[in-house]
């Protein structure tokens, strides 16, 4: 049986990524694993550059990253409280928060390698448009490119899923 000690959950704050976060917390607790929660801001560099130009002596970079880290912690705490309200107490697990810029897929693949991730728990919104039809969703692409297992959390209410 594969040992799971490092679990990555990409978080974009959508309902399906929050469901993946909940599953990641459950799996981390059951395996005594560390949970890496990743939030990728596609145009982070451009956004920080704008802020830096408008307030060059301010700590905009640190503040922006800290704001995103607080948002991640709030999402984690919300999942712990939702579980408690449902009568399931989740084990508190060690967290490693990552906020970075770039392309989601590239960042995830790089992080899997650099941090030696054992499992990724990712939500999927499903493939969209012609590009999605041809290439699959970004989560589909992650399943193909990742060097570790990927647990995919599907959204409810889609016609091709059983609710």
Q: Does 6-153 carry CATH code 3.40.50.620? A: yes
Average pLDDT, integer, range 75-96? 93
pLDDT tens per residue, range 103-143: 899 999 999 999 999 999 999 865 555 544 444 578 888 99
| Mean of all residue pLDDT scores within the chain | 83
Instruction: Give the pLDDT of residue 113.
Output: 97
Q: Is the pLDDT of residue 8 over 80?
A: yes
Region of poorest pLDDT, from 33-47, 94-108, 126-140: 126-140
Q: Is the pLDDT of residue 162 over 70?
A: no
Instruction: Give the pLDDT of residue 139.
Output: 87
CB 11 within 8 A of CB 96: no
Distance, CA of 125 to CA of 37 (rounded, Å): 18
Strand order across the 95-101 sheet: 95-101, 34-41, 6-10, 119-123, 149-153
Most confident by average pLDDT, 19-33, 34-48, 122-136:
19-33
Within a 10 A sphere around the Cβ of 83, how many other Cβ atoms? 16
**pTM for the whole structure:** 0.82
């Amino acid at each position: 049986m594969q040992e799971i000690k490092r679990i990555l959950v990409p978080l974009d704050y959508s309902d399906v990524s929050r469901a993946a976060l909940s599953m990641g917390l459950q799996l981390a607790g059951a395996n005594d694993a560390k949970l890496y929660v990743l939030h990728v801001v596609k145009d982070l560099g451009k956004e920080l550059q704008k802020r830096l130009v408008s307030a060059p002596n301010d700590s905009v970079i640190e503040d922006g990253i800290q704001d995103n880290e607080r948002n991640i912690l709030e999402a984690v705490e919300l999942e712990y409280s939702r579980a408690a309200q449902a009568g399931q107490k989740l084990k508190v697990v060690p967290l490693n928060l990552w906020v970075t810029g770039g392309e989601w897929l590239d960042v995830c693949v790089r992080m899997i390698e650099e941090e030696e991730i054992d499992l990724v728990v990712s939500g999927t919104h499903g493939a969209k448009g012609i590009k999605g039809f041809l290439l699959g969703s970004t989560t589909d692409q992650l399943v193909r490119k990742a060097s570790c297992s990927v647990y995919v959390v599907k959204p409810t209410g889609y016609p091709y899923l059983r609710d």
